Amino acid sequence: MKYMSKVNGGRGGIIINTASITSETPFPTIPIYAATKAAVSHFSRSFGDPLYSGKSGVKVIAINPGLTDTQILKNIADYSLYDPDVKVAFDVMRTKVPTQKVNNMGVGLLQVLEKAESGSVWTIENDQPAKRCLNPA
């Protein structure tokens, strides 16, 4: 931010912070992960305020990916899931939530870069176009 800021002779720019759809609502199966993502969303909304971006020319935006086919899902068995019943609930949820292709994150990200206002939060899920999140953390 310091070096990108127009105040310091920089060119401005865009910072995209990766939150998650788990930031939008309480997520009992992965509480710590979901809470950190809510923090990423809130942090981005605050630093994206025109109070900062108006002077700096640096937009700050958060994206909320839905479940996406990456390595993090293959590593999931390595994570502590707190309780055996939570593991069962987690596995059931996995079967119900659609997993999107990584490519859709690239497409969605370009849409966000083109039109997003500073301080906004965008959901990219289910192989659909990016949508502005109406109930961010």
Ligand X SMILES: NC(=O)C1=CN([C@@H]2O[C@H](COP(=O)(O)OP(=O)(O)OC[C@H]3O[C@@H](n4cnc5c(N)ncnc54)[C@H](O)[C@@H]3O)[C@@H](O)[C@H]2O)C=CC1
Ligand Y SMILES: CCCCC/C=C\C=C\C(=O)C/C=C\C/C=C\CCCC(=O)O
Q: Note whether 44 and 17 are within 8 A (CB).
A: yes
Q: How many residues bind ligand Y (CB under 6 A)?
A: 15
Q: Residue 21 or 58: which CB sits closer to ligand Y? A: 21
Is 20 an interacting residue with respect to ligand X (CB under 6 A)?
Answer: yes
Instruction: From residue 70, give the alpha-carbon distance in Å to each of 74, 85, 89, 101, 115.
Output: 7, 25, 21, 8, 26
Stretch that binds ligand Y, among 26-34, 49-57, 110-118, 127-135 (CB under 6 A): 26-34
Query: Which of ligand Y, ligand X, none has residue 5 at its interface (CB below 5 to 8 Å by kind)?
Result: none
Is 34 an interacting residue with respect to ligand X (CB under 6 A)?
Answer: no
Q: How do strand 13-18 and strand 121-124 relate by DSSP bridges?
A: unpaired
Question: Catalytic site residue 82?
Answer: no
Q: Note whether 87 and 81 are within 8 A (CB).
A: yes
Is 33 an interacting residue with respect to ligand Y (CB under 6 A)?
Answer: yes
- Binding-site member from 38, 60, 67, 130 for ligand X (CB under 6 A): 67
Query: How far, rounded to the nearest angstrom, does the alpha carbon of residue 81 sit from its chain's CA centroid?
Result: 21
Site string for ligand Y, 98-137 (x = CB under 6 A): ----------------------------------------
Q: Rounded to 10 degrees, what is the CA torsion of 7, 9, 14, 19?
A: -60
Please give the DSSP secondary-structure letter assigned to residue 37: H
Q: Rounded to 10 degrees, what is the CA torsion of 82, 20, 95, 106?
A: -140
Is 61 an interacting residue with respect to ligand X (CB under 6 A)?
Answer: no
Question: Where do contacts with ligand Y occur on this chain (CB under 6 A)?
Answer: 20-22, 30, 32-33, 66-67, 72, 79-80, 90, 93-94, 97
